[in-house]
Structure 1
Amino acid sequence: MITMGTLVEALLSGLIFALTSWFPLSPEGDVASVLVGNYQSFLVPAYLGVTFAVFFHYREKFSRLLIEAMKGIYEAELKYVFFATLFTALIGLPLSKFSWGLSAKISSAVNALIGALIVLLSLATPRRNPIRELDGKLSEEPSILDSLSAGVLQGVALLGPLTRTGAITLALLLPGYSARKALQWSFMVAPAYFILRLLQFGSWEPEGPVWIPFTAFASAFFVSLVLIYLLESLAEKRARLALTAFGIVPIIVFALEVIV
């Protein structure tokens, strides 16, 4: 466990939070708390940081979709984000009130399994995806079923330190969407999940000077911007490599937890 000044703890907490949010891990898993002793104190500003990062990174896309909606044009991505958010609330709000949930060990094993499936899918899938070949007119656009799966998976992730990102990415890869689109659509609907997590905390008051939790916010925000950009860029240029690296992370973390 790292023990150091609160400012450095806030900086590291934001960094670790961003890494575990965008890779197939959970920002509330045991690994983060082990690395930084005061990690739990910075969860609220870190959640705010990653949430604002999504809105900032996709600001142009969100703005265009909203402008088109005001003109009466409802694009598939707008419907996807709207219905995924709706399903997340419908599933997540009741589940968030449960007094029970999955343990950290079980959640870590599930995360590793999801990561392994992503790796196997990236290695086994041929260039021509047979699922997509069933309908040659299938466009690279999310459907209502994709929205439903994203919302349900985000809601279920509230039961424990489960990987929201990994589960949705896997669900989008199975129908044959590209690695870049699967990651992008997984990231775009994340705010619904983050906001529900924030609601679970209830009231929160920062400890010490306000600039200390702001450091966690800024760290999570800027690291998220870099990670989202890098993951999307790598997925577009080297899809198989991106998915393999993406999926192997929770496997390594799970293996380390078992060994330690």
Structure 2
Amino acid sequence: MNYIEAVIMGILQGFTEWLPISSSGQVMLAMMNFFGISPEKAYSYALLLHFGTLFAVLFKFRYELGRILMNLVTLRWGEEETFLFYSTLFTAVIGLPLYRAFKTIVTSLNAEAVNGIVGFALILTGVILAKSREKPKDEFGQIVRKKRKKEVTIVEAMVAGIAQGIAVLPGISRSGMTIGALLLLGVDQKKAVRLSFLMAVPAIFGALFLELQAVSEPITVSLVAVLSAFIVSLLTLEGMLKLAERLNFSKFCIVFGSIAVVVSIMGVLI
């Protein structure tokens, strides 16, 4: 990957991170189909680009994260600290095996096959987003009382963690899965968005710890890509969040996922 490609991928990551359309899935599709990068390298590089958006989140929520970290260290756990502990725990329990399994499988697949996998995952994300925009179903109403407590429960934190763990697969939107799961359980939308952002920090740190050694690109090219992602993420964070609240991205995911599946089938047939 050259510097121009690195900048383009950083910009793409910066824009798509805040939208429920799977930034890793979009970056992987672009790398494989436009730049001819192998699926394994594309997956590793897509995770690396989260460094940029991670720093944007750290900067944006620096005071809140500092307070939460201090409370965690001093064992003064409130709602957010308890939520982060259990959600991160279940993210690791679900996400680590899925990550290792996908890394093993992707090495034996070609770009066409991975296009199909990411495409189907995007379609699934679209369906989940569409469902989350509806009112909680009756079966959820039996679990979550109408006059619910203001604080998020441990069970809800566990569900959000499981949803985030599944999102280690490219094409599954992390924010879409976590926010959608919390909304289905009756959590207020603003709180669901905030908690989704906070729980992303330890998850991204864990993914980067696992993937840094797998990135084979020159350090300068990687830095350019990460810096581009950071700048774009920071500049577009507020606007993209407002856009994500107003627009229905379920159709976007389904359409792009379908295109990826069609491209995959055509690649196999041709």
Residue of structure 2 in register with 1:24 after alignment: 21
Per the TM alignment, residue 10 of structure 1 is displaced from its structure 2 partner at its CA by 0.9
* One of 81, 92, 96 as aligned partner of 1:93: 96
Per the TM alignment, residue 7 of structure 1 is displaced from its structure 2 partner at its CA by 1.8
Quickly say closer, same or farther: Cα 1:248–1:68, change in 2 above 3 A.
Answer: same
Query: What aligned pairs does 1:179-218 form with structure 2 within 5 A after superposition?
Result: 179-201=189-211, 203-204=213-214, 207-208=217-218, 210-218=219-227
- Supply the AA of the counterpart residue of 2:6: A
Q: Distance in 2 between matches of 1:103 and 1:211?
A: 28
Instruction: Tell me whether 1:150 sits opposite 2:160 in the alignment.
Output: yes
Task: Tell whether the 8 Å contact from 2:94 to 2:165 is kept in structure 1 after alignment.
Answer: yes
Per the TM alignment, residue 27 of structure 1 is displaced from its structure 2 partner at its CA by 0.9
Instruction: Tell me whether 1:58 sits opposite 2:61 in the alignment.
Output: yes
Query: What aligned pairs does 1:136-175 form with structure 2 within 5 A after superposition?
Result: 136-139=147-150, 141-175=151-185
Per the TM alignment, residue 76 of structure 1 is displaced from its structure 2 partner at its CA by 0.8
Residue of structure 1 in register with 2:51 after alignment: 48
Per the TM alignment, residue 20 of structure 1 is displaced from its structure 2 partner at its CA by 4.0
Query: What aligned pairs does 1:247-258 form with structure 2 within 5 A after superposition?
Result: 247-258=250-261
Using structure 1 for the length normalisation, give the TM-score.
Answer: 0.76
Q: What is the RMSD computed on CA atoms of the aligned residues? A: 3.3
Quickly say closer, same or farther: Cα 1:56–1:211, change in 2 above 3 A.
Answer: same
Using structure 2 for the length normalisation, give the TM-score.
Answer: 0.73
Quickly say closer, same or farther: Cα 1:163–1:232, change in 2 above 3 A.
Answer: closer
Identity of aligned residues (%): 28
Q: Distance in 1 between matches of 2:93 and 2:125?
A: 24
Quickly say closer, same or farther: Cα 1:160–1:31, change in 2 above 3 A.
Answer: closer
Per-residue CA deviation, residues 59-118 of structure 1 (Å, 9 max, x unaligned), is 121123334556764221121112212222233333333334795424422332332342
Per the TM alignment, residue 35 of structure 1 is displaced from its structure 2 partner at its CA by 3.7
Task: Tell whether the 8 Å contact from 1:16 to 1:32 is kept in structure 2 after alignment.
Answer: no
Residue of structure 2 in register with 1:221 after alignment: 230
Q: Distance in 1 between matches of 2:69 and 2:205?
A: 20
Query: What aligned pairs does 1:72-151 form with structure 2 within 5 A after superposition?
Result: 73-98=76-101, 99-100=104-105, 103-122=114-133, 124-125=134-135, 131=141, 134-139=145-150, 141-151=151-161
Quickly say closer, same or farther: Cα 1:232–1:84, change in 2 above 3 A.
Answer: same
